[in-house]
Each structure stands twice: as C-alpha cells, then as structure tokens.
Homo-oligomer: A and B are copies of this chain.
Amino acid sequence: MSTTSESIPTPAAARPGRSSAQWKRMLRMMITIREFEHLGEQEFRNGLIRGYYHSYAGQEAVGVGMLEALDPSHDYIVDHYRDHGHCLAMGIDAEQVFAELFGRRTGVSKGKGGSMHMYSPDKHFLGGDGIVGGGISVAAGVGMALKRMPGKGLCVCFFGDGALDTGTFHESLNLASLWDLPVVFVCINNQYSMGTSLQRHSSLSQLVDRASGYGMPTEQIDGQDVGAVYSASERIFAAVRERQRPCFIEALTYRYQGHGIHDKPLNYRTTEEEEPWRRRDPIRLLSEKLIEERQMTPAQIEKMRQEVTAELEAKAERARQAPAPEARELFDDVMI
C-alpha cells in the first residue's frame, strides 16, 4: 500500500524537447478539432445529425497534448461522450467520424453508435460512452489486460468533473491502485457538470483532492496550454509505465459551447466568467507562441486553418454521400 503523498517523478525515459514539426502537428490537430465541431454543429442545425452533440471546442489542448505523448502501438484510450476531438487526435479519419454522426454505414461504428459511441480498436480507441463515469471501470479492465500483455502499454481514461460524483470513479481508482494498473485517469475539469457548476456539485473545489484517497499520485495541469499538457503527459506516462502504477490528472479547462447543442450556457453563467478562458484559448496560446518564436507566421497559421477547413468540408461531403445502413443491418451485431 502506498501513501497519498506520492508525487510523480521524472523518469529517465522522459523525452526532452520537441521539434517544430511536432508543434505544428499539434496546432493543426487543435484547429482540426475546432473546425470539425463547428461544421458538426452546423450539420446538427441542418438536421443531418440527430440526438446529442457535445462539442469539444475550448478543450482541445487537453486531448491533443496528452494523446501526442502516447505510444500508439501499445497504449489505448477509453473516452466519455464528448469524444469527437479524441477520435481525431487518435488518428481516426474525420470522414469516418462525420459518417458516424450522419448515421452512415461507413461511420466508425457503422452508423449504429452515433456521437457518443465511436469505437475504433484499430486506432486503439475503445469507445466513447454515454453514461457518465461508465468507462472508468472499463479502463481499469483495459489496464488489467495491458498488465498481462507485452509492451508496457497504458490506458488513458478521459471523463469530466461530473464523473467524480459517480461511485464507480471511486471504486475504480481503488481497484487500479490496489492492483497496480497502468492507467492514467484524466479528469477534464471544464468547471461544469451540464448546467451545474463545480461549486454546486462537488464538496471540494480542487478535484485532485477528491482523488487523494487512493494512494496514487495526482497532478493538476493547465489544460489550455498544449505544451504544458504534453510535457506533463510525457513525464507522467513514462512514470506510469515504469512503476506500473496508476495516476490521476486534473486538467483545468473550459467548454465554450453549452453542455450539448440545445443548451444555452448563459442561462447559468456569465460572459464575464467566460472571458478570461477565451483569452487563454488553447489555439490562440499556441499560435502566439509559434509566432513569437518565429516558427510560424500569422499568414501561415491562417493558411493552415483554411487547408484544414477545406479538407474537412471535403470529408464531410464524402460522408454525406455515403449510404445509410441497409434495413437488414438492424439485427447485425446484436450477437455474434
């Protein structure tokens, strides 16, 4: 058994520095996600997407920085329902994600899953999940599997601040610590559980403190700064791999849109509250850094954005043209 006072060490294996190509890749991915969500929300309003739409806009640095640090051949992720951004960052083709949202059989879940239920085992993406906290124990199970497999793979599990109120979060952290599992539990603290602010749903304001009862290292990170996320993730992943022990990360961020597409956040929060977060927009922060360091010019960034948008629009169009599932597919894959 371990104590709560552990901190996460920097193991020898942590890779130093990053290349310009890497910064640009991360910028491009963040822009891709932002523009993807923008197009997606439009298509929802056009009626092509139905049901739920949970935008990742504003939170891009968390997923992009963290998944950039993965070992793509051995690591896995288990996600919650706000999953489009993580799909893209895991390398799933945007066309397949659009196709899923449009209910096409070319979708990543063959049109059966929809927005919250994307799956791509090929890309080591083991699902969005519509149940708050529903994936946390599944991630522990993936950790159990990885521990029994070669390659020192780890599992990154994403969930929101609201998920800390579900019992399974606590059960799973206890299991992961007790069993020494290589799982990184990542709470994306965007300050709200649907329309309920942190103050109104959590007994403690620092969510790292709510994960303090399991003898695993915890760390709060700046979820707006993709570089900070990446550095912390590299260090933490290396430690988890080496020690074969779980850890808990709280990434501080903010969602720009409502909880889902029908939600109007100004019903429960103010523009004054939003403003400082928007000033520290993750895309803006990285853009400014790259401009300042003369790695990119504003024009180059704008060109990147336009390229990304054009590419996404083409993919969306191909997804639109793809066929719906055939009626007989209704009963496929209920059982084997």
Q: Which residues of A contact B (CB under 8 A)?
A: 1-4, 165-171, 173-174, 177-178, 199-205, 209-216
Choice from B165, B202, B204, B214 contacting A203 with Cβ under 8 Å:
B214
**Contact: A167 with B165, CB < 8 Å?**
no
Closest to A180 in B: B203
Which of A1, A174, A199, A213 gathers most chain B CB within 10 Å? A213
- Please measure, in the bound complex, the distance between the C-alpha atom of A211 and the C-alpha atom of B202, giving whole angstroms: 14
What is the CB-to-nearest-CB distance from A281 to chain B, in angstroms, rounded to a whole number? 28
Which of A167, A169, A199 gathers most chain B CB within 10 Å? A167
Choice from B3, B209, B213 contacting A210 with Cβ under 8 Å:
B213
What is the CB-to-nearest-CB distance from A160 to chain B, in angstroms, rounded to a whole number? 15
- Please measure, in the bound complex, the distance between the C-alpha atom of A251 and the C-alpha atom of B219, giving whole angstroms: 31
Chain multiplicity (copies): 2
- Please measure, in the bound complex, the distance between the C-alpha atom of A154 and the C-alpha atom of B173, giving whole angstroms: 31
Interface pairs (18), CB distance under 8 Å: A1-B199, A1-B204, A3-B204, A4-B209, A165-B174, A166-B167, A167-B167, A167-B168, A170-B170, A173-B203, A174-B202, A177-B203, A178-B200, A178-B201, A203-B214, A204-B213, A209-B212, A209-B213
What is the CB-to-nearest-CB distance from A139 to chain B, in angstroms, rounded to a whole number? 15
- Please measure, in the bound complex, the distance between the C-alpha atom of A211 and the C-alpha atom of B171, giving whole angstroms: 13
Choice from B178, B212, B216 contacting A213 with Cβ under 8 Å:
B212
**Contact: A212 with B4, CB < 8 Å?**
yes
Closest to A167 in B: B167
Which residues in B have their C-beta under 8 angstroms from that of A202? Answer: 1, 174, 178
Which residues in B have their C-beta under 8 angstroms from that of A171? Answer: 165-167, 170
- Please measure, in the bound complex, the distance between the C-alpha atom of A1 and the C-alpha atom of B214, giving whole angstroms: 22
- Please measure, in the bound complex, the distance between the C-alpha atom of A282 and the C-alpha atom of B29, giving whole angstroms: 65
Which residues in B have their C-beta under 8 angstroms from that of A173? Answer: 203
What is the CB-to-nearest-CB distance from A208 to chain B, in angstroms, rounded to a whole number? 9
**Contact: A214 with B205, CB < 8 Å?**
no
What is the CB-to-nearest-CB distance from A17 to chain B, in angstroms, rounded to a whole number? 36
13 additional contacts, CB 8 Å, given A1-B204, A210-B214?
A1-B199, A2-B204, A3-B204, A165-B174, A167-B168, A174-B203, A177-B203, A203-B213, A203-B214, A204-B215, A209-B213, A212-B212, A212-B213
Q: Which 8 A-B pairs have the closest CB atoms?
A: A167-B167, A177-B203, A170-B170, A210-B213, A203-B215, A203-B214, A167-B171, A174-B203
What is the CB-to-nearest-CB distance from A249 to chain B, in angstroms, rounded to a whole number? 16
Closest to A174 in B: B203
Which residues in B have their C-beta under 8 angstroms from that of A177? Answer: 203
Which residues in B have their C-beta under 8 angstroms from that of A168? Answer: 167
Closest to A203 in B: B177
